[in-house]
Amino acid sequence: MTTAVDAATVAGTRKRSFLQRNPVLRRLIRHKAFVVGAGLFLIISLVAILADFIAPSDPSRMAVRFRFRPPSAEHWFGTDNLGRSQLSRIVYGARLSLAIGLAVVIMNAVFGVALGAASGYFKRLDNILMRVTDALMAFPPVLLALGIAAALGPSSLTAAIALAAVYIPRTARIVRASVLVVRELEFVQAAMAMGAGNLRILRKHVLPNCMAPLIVQLTFVFAFAVVTEATLSFLGLGSPPPTPTWGNMIAEGRQYIRDAAWITLIPGLALAVTVLSLNLLGDGLRDVLDPRLKISQD
């Protein structure tokens, strides 16, 4: 028996899985809120990606005979005022919401990081860039997004651009704050003493050490972008009506809310669950990646 045990322990120490060796992943797995959030978000993402297979019918196909059907075994989420399948519309709406959210996150990751890194690292740019971000941040987020979307005309693309413009200054702020801290650490000076140039130092030594707050920020940007996109399309400034979005579904169902509450309730719930999953995910990441916790353990 001892041999078997030995073999097991030897195998155990030698072949520990990636998951066990990575302390961040290990702590994330133990974080309940993160697991719930990540699980929910994964399901929502899969639904969005597989919309073509999940949706029972074309989201725009009208069936006048089946108008205002409440949720049932036949129509899981009921039908709307034109007899369109709410399930199909929610599923395709998820695709659009997540696509816009993702686009906003990517734009934030690119431009927010570039602006934040430039103003944190190059002192000369700092004042100019940060005054511009101050100006943009002085507007309430929804108002600014509304203004930009109205100026550019309603479409998914303009909604994404408007949302990116709203959140990029906030991301840049967070990146700048981390860069200001990291650039003063000794290893940056040591890298300079080894002859590394500014861009190389930024890319290899500064930014990798600023990732934790950035990742957390981006999950929250994703959540806010989903909500604000719904707001824009509710107000008619997102994707125009034939395209199903959670925002315009709520807007269209609004007039029937007394008799057919599910038409507004279901997209509202979808929105709430998506944002909740992203917030749980972000909270978990923040708890695990928080730089302050990390330093205290060093």
By CB under 8 A, name the binding residues for another protein: 185-187, 189-197, 200, 204-205, 208-209, 298
Cα(90)–Cα(92) distance, rounded to whole angstroms?
Answer: 6
Cβ proximity to another protein, 54 vs 191, nearer residue: 191
Rg (CA), the chain: 24
Nearer to another protein, 61 or 294 (CB): 294
DSSP run (H or E) holding 212: helix 211-234
| Other C-beta atoms lying within 10 Å of the C-beta of residue 189 | 13
Helix (H) or strand (E) holding 55: none
Tell me how far, at minimum, the Cβ of 195 lies from another protein, in Å: 4
Nearer to another protein by C-beta: 191 or 273?
A: 191
Whichever of 51 and 212 has its CB closer to another protein, that residue is: 212
Nearer to another protein, 129 or 201 (CB): 201
Beta carbons within 8 Å of 231's beta carbon, 6+ residues apart: 142, 145, 247
As measured in angstroms, the least distance from the Cβ of 192 to another protein is: 6
* Separation between Cα atoms, residue 31 and residue 140, nearest integer Å: 33
* C-beta separation of 25 from 19 below 8 A: yes
Identify which of residues 157 and 185 has a Cβ nearer to another protein in the complex.
185
Residues written for the chain: 298
Tokens of 133: 């971000």
Give CA 180 to chain center in angstroms. Answer: 25
- One-letter amino acid at 133 equals T
Which CB sits closer to another protein, 100 or 188?
188
For residue 282, give both structure tokens.
Answer: 């972000």
Residue 39 CB, shortest distance to another protein, in Å, is: 28
Question: Strand, helix or coil at 79?
Answer: strand
Residue type at 181 in one-letter notation: V
As to burial, measured by CB atoms within 10 angstroms (0-12 exposed, 13-18 middle, 19+ buried), residue 93 is buried
* C-alpha to C-alpha distance for 269 and 282, rounded to whole angstroms: 20
- DSSP summary character for residue 185: S
Q: Shortest distance, CB of residue 209 to another protein, whole angstroms?
A: 6
Whichever of 164 and 207 has its CB closer to another protein, that residue is 207
Minimum distance from residue 22 beta carbon to another protein (Å): 12
